Amino acid sequence: MNFTHTLSDSKNWIINHKDQLEINWSEKDIELHLNKETSFNIYLLDQTNVKGALIGHFLYQDQKVSEFEILHIAVLPEFRNQGLGRMILEELEKQLKSTGKSFKIFLEASAINKFAIKLYEKLGYKAYNERKNYYRSKSINAPNTQDAILFAKSLNAIK
């Protein structure tokens, strides 16, 4: 298993896998994100097949600290529940730690996204806030609105 920050055509890979990644961004949003200087993304691949991705960006950085936001993380459906989501998050932490800075990672999840929440909690992310009725669902099988839960994790630099 390998990690990479870019694919030969990251934009089209994301667009072509939007449904499997469960990402509801427009093509324009994806392009804007990938072109931002603060954008930082990790793709997990096995030889040439991409199995999952983390899409994120730096919110703030100075010489000692960095703040990072995970905008989306997804594993393609056929590879879920095999530890790959955890692997991608651990890789992000490893890469952020290697800078020698203290860092804080933020993310938000829908309160009904049980697997994602379980994954974040197992890795030590703590819920610090919630936004009531934040997401509007298009599905007839789900409640019309869903709460968002905000998570964060801090790691201190080794002195």
Ligand X SMILES: CC(C)(COP(=O)(O)OP(=O)(O)OC[C@H]1O[C@@H](n2cnc3c(N)ncnc32)[C@H](O)[C@@H]1OP(=O)(O)O)[C@@H](O)C(=O)NCCC(=O)NCCS
Nearer to ligand X, 18 or 101 (CB): 18
Phi-psi region of 26 (alpha: psi -120 to 50; beta: other; left: phi over 0): beta
Closest approach, Cβ 120 to ligand X, in A, equals 8
Catalytic residue among 43, 120, 125, 135: 120
Closest approach, Cβ 119 to ligand X, in A, equals 4
Question: What's CA 92's distance to the chain center, in Å?
Answer: 9
Catalytic residue among 43, 67, 69, 108: 108
Nearer to ligand X, 102 or 113 (CB): 113
Nearer to ligand X, 19 or 62 (CB): 19
Whether 108 is catalytic: yes
Q: Which residues bind ligand X (CB under 6 A)?
A: 22, 72-75, 80-86, 109, 113, 115-116, 118-119, 122
Whether 125 is catalytic: no
Positions marked active-site: 108, 120
